[in-house]
Amino acid sequence: MEQRLFGRTGIRVPVIGQGTWLLEKDRAQAVTALRRGFDLGMTHIDTAEMYGSGAVEEIVGEAIAGRRDEVFLVSKVVPQNASRQGTIRACERSLRRLGTDSLDCYLLHWPGNHPLAETIAAFEHLTRDGKIKRWGVSNFDEEDLEEVVRLAGPGRVACNQVLYHLGERAIEHYVLPACERHGVAVVGYSPFGQGRFKPPRVLDEIARARGAPPRQVALAFLTRHPVTFAIPKAGQIAHVEENAGAGALRLTDEEIRRIDQAFPAGRPRRRSLPTL
């Protein structure tokens, strides 16, 4: 599993991690699947207080019990809770459900109505208290990102987690370059379009030639840029195992060109990132 620097944090994180949205449906299988992922190097775990209204954080807590040191653990505060005090209380609730005393990264799930400066103040407070190691944002477009960097100062925003799959490459126009400019890692969520992904012909052809499944080719494409990471969610062990294999797959320039042609990045738009 390739690891790469996570923005300017100085920490190396696996390029392929594990999402956890909707993982609450089969708790025992979810725990086994996550642990299988850890064994294969997918130790970047993305969760959120919102997922299963806290139930998913409890599942993640069970999966990381006894293995906390192996894991880069990320959770998120919903914007409604992201006031100065609300963020701190939400983080403490997440820590209890996860059975840990600190998060590796804590994100604002999407831009909301509480002043961003308050959320940042709470994140910095939590960092000083050792409850989070670093913080970031999610679903921030270029303008939102410029604003959070302006308020927080350089080098404070670890990542921006955004929608990114072959059918939705909007971030490549402005968000990804802005993240790169500011040393912010780009974590692509829903890399399989939330399960709607159907491997098209060009991926099948590349996959056959490389002896790799088409979804590995898709993940390799989405992580071809050195600031990007992907966090597919898989409740089934066979899927976990397949996804982990993408962490060692490097596409050639010609393969990238063919995929780029088949799935064009679309028209540039600066504002309002698409979300699922």
**What is the footprint of ligand NAP within residues 172-211 (CB under 6 A)?**
189-195
106 is catalytic: no
Which residues, in sequence order, are CB contacts of 204 under 8 Å at separation 6+?
Answer: 214
C-alpha span between 25 and 258 (Å, rounded): 37
Q: How are beta strands 72-77 and 105-108 bridged, if at all?
A: parallel
CA dist., res. 106 & res. 193, Å (int): 24
- Binding ligand NAP (rule: CB under 6 A), the pick from 179, 234, 259, 273 is 234
Nearer to ligand NAP, 86 or 188 (CB): 188
- State whether residue 176 is helix, strand or coil: helix
Residue 144 in contact with ligand NAP, rule: CB under 6 A: no
Task: Kindly tell me which of 80 and 275 has the beta carbon lying closer to ligand NAP.
Answer: 275
User: Do 37 and 236 form a contact (C-beta atoms < 8 A)?
Assistant: no
Distances (CA, A) of 139 to 97, 160, 161, 162, 184: 24, 7, 6, 5, 13
Of positions 34, 126, 158, 231, contacts ligand NAP by CB under 6 A: 231
Give the x-and-dash track for 71-100 against ligand NAP (CB under 6 A): ------------------------------
Asked whether the CA dihedral 64, 66, 67, 68 is positive or negative, the reply is: positive
Among residues 30 and 88, whose Cβ is nearest to ligand NAP? 30
Among 19, 41, 79, 111, binds ligand NAP (CB under 6 A): 19
Residue placing its CB nearer to ligand NAP in the complex, 169 or 239:
239
Phi-psi region of 161 (alpha: psi -120 to 50; beta: other; left: phi over 0): beta
Q: Per-residue x/- mask for ligand NAP, residues 102 to 121, rule CB under 6 A?
A: -------x------------
Q: Which span sits near ligand NAP by CB under 6 A: 16-24, 34-42, 178-186, 247-255?
A: 16-24
Dist. CA 239–CA 244, nearest whole Å: 9
Rounded-to-integer distance, Cα 57 and Cα 41, Å: 20
* Rounded CA separation 110/262 (Å): 30
Q: Which two tokens stand for residue 64?
A: 């990381």
Q: Which residue is nearest to ligand NAP (CB)?
A: 19
Q: How far is the CB of 52 from ligand NAP (least distance, A)?
A: 11
The one segment of 57-65, 96-104, 143-151, 232-240 that binds ligand NAP by CB under 6 A: 232-240
Q: How many Å apart are CA 120 and CA 88, to the nearest integer?
A: 11
Residue with Cβ nearer ligand NAP (155 or 193): 193
Q: Which residues bind ligand NAP (CB under 6 A)?
A: 19-21, 46, 109, 138-139, 161, 189-195, 215, 231-236, 239, 242-243, 275-276
Residues with a known catalytic role? 51
